[in-house]
Amino acid sequence: MSASNDGNSSPRSQFASHCFEDLLDSIIVDVASECHRIARLGLDRNLEEEEEELRLSVQARVADPSSSSEVNSKNVVDVFGQTHPAIAAEILKCMNCRQRVVAGRFAPHLEKCMGKGRKARKVTRSTVARSSHPHGSPVSVYAPYSNATSTNTAPNGTSGHAGEEYADYPYGET
């Protein structure tokens, strides 16, 4: 690297430039030495494969990505030749209450049925006291399905009603 030729050629500034150049050279040699070792020992990644993947990716993005198959996939015939309604029409039997439910609306039904989620409405007097959760998070309220005077249990437990499978008390969750 050539000496800097700013007008200032005092010994001090020259010495400073010299020091800087030495430091810079030293850093460059550090990197060169490390890279040389990595290359010679075959430690560098398989660069050709990496480049190839990047090239394919660039190619993919340049090619029109918004082909109709991407956008309107719900209006087409699927790979088996079937079409489906927007809301799944299969009729399912709820495991909790034995009612028949349309598949596309099964989750909201189940949520109410199991007494989960913020939309659960079945709160009885016996559970209100327990619902003041110390953490204040929007915890789903345990709502016994039938009897308003169902027994309270310890936070980790569930009250018993033979034959009905209750959701677990949320406090038991880690």
- Residue 90 binds to other proteins (criterion: CB under 8 A): yes
- Shortest Cβ distance from residue 171 to other proteins (Å)? 9
| Rounded-to-integer distance, Cα 94 and Cα 101, Å | 7
Q: Give the interface size with other proteins as a residue count (CB under 8 A).
A: 89
Amino acid occupying residue 163: G
Region of 98 (left: φ > 0; alpha: ψ -120 to 50; beta: rest) is left
Site for other proteins, residues 119 to 158, rule: CB under 8 A:
119, 139-140, 153-154, 156-158
- Shortest Cβ distance from residue 138 to other proteins (Å)? 9
- Residue window 1-40: x/- pattern of binding to other proteins, with contact defined by CB under 8 A: ---------------------x--xx-xxx--xx-xxx-x
- Sole binder of other proteins in the list 14, 16, 53, 99 (CB under 8 A): 53
